[in-house]
Amino acid sequence: MTQNKKVRQGLLPYVFLLLIMLGVFYFVTIANQKINNLTYSEFMKSLDSSEVTELEVKPRERASIYEVRGKLKNYKENETFYVRLPLSEQVMKKLVTASDKYNFEFTAVADPESNSLLIIVANYLPMLLVLAIGFWFLNKQMGGKNGSFDFGKSKAKLSSDKNKVTFKDVAGLKEEKEEVKELIDFLKNPKKFQKLGARIPKGVLLYGPPGTGKTLLARAVAGEANVPFYYISGSDFVELFVGVGASRVRDMFQQAKRTAPCLIFIDEIDAVGRQRGSGIGGGHDEREQTLNQLLTEMDGFGENEGIIIIAATNRPDVLDPALLRPGRFDRQVTVNLPDVKGREEILKVHARNKVLADGVNIPALAKRTPGYSGADLENLLNEAALLAVRRNKEAITMSEIDEASDRVLMGPAKSSKTRSENDRKLVAYHESGHAVVGIKLKGANDVQKVTIIPRGSAGGYNMMIPSEEKMCSTKTDLLEQITGLLAGRVAEEVVFGEITTGAENDFSKATKIARAMVTEYGMSDLGPMQLEQQEGSVFLGRDYNKSRNFSNEVAHEIDTEMRKIIDECYKKATKIINDNRDLLELLATTLLEYETLTKEQIDYLVENGKMPSEDDETTYEKMSLTKLKELAKEKGIKGYSKMDKEEIIKELEK
């Protein structure tokens, strides 16, 4: 039955198209016809002189006339005449007599007005056809169902129990889950709160970067509470007609009241909840009317007992203040990017349905993915699985995960790209320069991987991550990061006496850090002042949205301080490269041979001056101290971080 309905709905556009084509054909045919209007005397003259070759007579009793159409001997194929004659027996008799006498084709047609149904069809069919086509297009535009105008109805969907999500499926959001557990307790046992006079928050706003699990957390709340869960996107409220959005908000709350207690989840609420009156010219458009209705329903004169609203957004800064006040969204929960422990938990959740090889180290992978969101980590493992299938492997190994990480960050490898040997040497020394400074400076980011295989627009890249995740960075940390970024250009200049365009991205990052140190962090001789900040209208572009609260003289001083920071870091990088020229040469020549070096290989290379053999990699004595500490951590050896190499080996061999 459903299949037949879908087939009929699919045929409707083609039926309408056919009708339109037939109409166009009909009108074109009429347009090509030439009709000559004759007077009574002209027609009778032609009739008596045997000029008539065809004749069609149609009586019109209501008008008391005959409508006569026909052709004359001198007419072309598309040419006819038309004449009106009095409705009488004498006229009809004369026409019949002339037909018999001159032997021309004579046709008599019944009065069409004698059939009332035919009149109705003839008069009203074009109008009905136009209305039907308009109805169909409008219904499609407004998202109507079953052929009805339901665009004033709410588009909120009721979640089914088929894909039920619980807190077990949400990893890395420990504090965030604690914040929303009160909602579940209230929905299950509201009397416990009412006894002490407590009022549960009417709304909870989840905000944070994309992919951090805001929607997943909302679904988990509904799954744990086991109550009806309505979900809708902010963009579903606003449509073509004025008042539709407000009507949908009212209808949504009416539905929710009938099934209370329940949850309403509004995803991307910034689509409808943007600050009113903002932007150039302000305005009171359909979106603002929808927002006003939402504000009224959340905390107006009416009661919404048992209805809790959860909303998610990536842009809390653009939301209207009235939406964020107590009584509406009482609680605002920040869902940030996960830390190393959170990433490990998320990876374990997404690894449940993946076939991982024994050598896959989840804790090490979590440590190597700072800045990754939950969605990024899920995509990483999925890409690794696709690569494993492509390589006809039965399990996902670290090789596929490493390759997937590189693909996500930089794009696919361009191994077939032809490069000159000189280009390869330039890239090798450039990336080795970054690695040398990363090895020698404690505050610089740790080198995890170096490659000269082109990816994306880069000829090679150096994967460097912080040695530990910090809430705040010191001035020394930032200066050493800049030094590490400039080291690639320094290596080019020291080795070749020439510079290239390869350091463009490094300079961009270094300049950004230096400017922030001067204008935002107060880490210069200008003192502890914030000279630039993001503010202003959220509807303006980024360049217009930055407040500048200093004079041109201060702007010159800012440039001077930035130059000073960059110059000092450049000199420091030059000294480190010159002092460790042997290490630079070792890394560069090895990189030219192997093209890619991992952290373990680099550590072994620094300690032993050569690449490890297969036997070396499995021998504790020939492993690097960093690798031994990682193994000790995996095996749960206590106090490994303070042990030297020999002590760790003894513990590992027990």
Return the active site residues.
431
Q: What CA–CA distance (Å, rounded) separates 643 from 647?
A: 6
Query: Residue 580: how many CB atoms within 10 A of its CB?
Result: 17
Q: Report angle CA 451, 456, 461 to the nearest 5 degrees.
A: 25
Q: What CA–CA distance (Å, rounded) separates 107 from 57?
A: 6
Cis omega (within 30 of 0) for bond into 210: no
Using DSSP's 3-state secondary structure scheme, residue 322 falls into helix
* C-alpha of 83 from chain center: 69
Q: What CA–CA distance (Å, rounded) separates 625 from 643?
A: 10
Q: What CA–CA distance (Å, rounded) separates 337 from 197?
A: 36
Q: Residue 40 to residues 43, 67, 111: CA-CA distances in angstroms?
A: 5, 12, 21
Q: What CA–CA distance (Å, rounded) separates 265 from 219?
A: 8
Using DSSP's 3-state secondary structure scheme, residue 462 falls into strand
Q: Closest by alpha carbon to 347, among 401, 278, 302?
A: 401
- CA gyration radius for the chain? 40
Cβ atoms of residues 354 and 383 within 8 Å: no
Q: What CA–CA distance (Å, rounded) separates 137 from 148?
A: 12
> Which amino acid appears at position 231 of this protein?
Y
Q: What CA–CA distance (Å, rounded) separates 505 from 646?
A: 42
